Amino acid sequence: MIEGVKHIVAVASGKGGVGKSTVTANLALAMAAEGYRVGILDADIYGPSQAQMLGVGEGVRPQAAGENRMYPLEAHGLQAMSMAFMVDVREPMVWRGPMVAGAFQQLLTQTQWDDLDFLFIDMPPGTGDIQLTLAQKVPVDGAVIVTTPQDIALLDARKGIEMFRKVNVPVFGVVENMSLHVCSNCGHGEPIFGEGGGERIANEYETRLLGRLPLALSIREQVDGGRPTVIAEPDGEVTATFRDMARQVAEQVQGQAAEGPSISFGD
């Protein structure tokens, strides 16, 4: 186990651009709103985005916590750690795989988490080094897969689900993002990226559809401005969806704890 962390939930997607980081930030904030102590680890070494999404200023650095350890930063009541807190975010990380996996492991193991109920890990897209490192080195309770409804995104979401299955990490469910666009002028709803994809994939892999999120300008604006929807509109419909997802994740984690450990990990 990671010191100071009770449960770990990975939020992943097969491909980039489906809103995984936005979902991670809001899901973590929703879990905190449910009364849990929550942290968020941005594992996207090449393209960390949680610093901006959580409103952490450029150049803010973590404090040392003794030798080779550091305290996470606080943002909206969450404990947060990201590569963006270590480097100039305007500079590209031109690194090979082993360096990336090593950096991820350092962020994970050298952060002094303070009594977290849940640590959400915002995974980079794909099924590569970081995903393998996570599966082999960390006791992950389960994964949440984020997809959009179009076929090409679902194809990659399937790979994400299969990857977690291969390494014995339960998939808690699928989040279908950008599922419906509602016109701000006339209120007409249109499924721009197709319909029912999240449900189909959840049924196919015998997992659940945790929730559907609309394609909405406000969600993008709020997260870009460092105040995600759960903070910006605590009584709104989208926040209610995130709170419901958080409750479903918490229920599944608690259900597993009641059953006892059933997961084995490689070295």
Question: What is the domain partition of the chain in residue ranges?
Answer: 5-258
Contacts by 257-263 with C-beta closer than 8 Å and gap 24+? Answer: 263/139, 263/168, 263/169, 263/170
Q: Is the pTM higher than 0.75?
A: yes
Give the contacts of 186 (CB within 8 A, at least 6 positions apart): none
Name the pLDDT band for 266 (thresholds 50, 70, 90).
very low
Q: Mind giving me the DSSP string for 194-234?
A: -SSHHHHHHHHTT--EEEE--B-HHHHHHHHTT--HHHH-T
Angstrom distance (rounded) from CA 128 to CA 130: 6
What is the Cα 130 distance to its own chain's centre?
Answer: 14
Which is nearest to 21 in space by CA: 175, 232, 163, 236?
A: 175
Beta bridge partners of 121: 10, 41
pLDDT value for 249? 98
For the domain spanning 5-258, the CATH number is 3.40.50.300
Give, as one character, the DSSP assignment of residue 28.
H
pLDDT value for 260? 60
The answer on pLDDT for 58 being more than 50 is: yes
167: phi then psi, degrees, rounded to nearest 5: -105, 20
Is residue 41 helix, strand or coil?
Answer: strand
The answer on pLDDT for 106 being more than 60 is: yes
pLDDT in tens, 79-103: 999 999 988 878 888 888 889 889 9
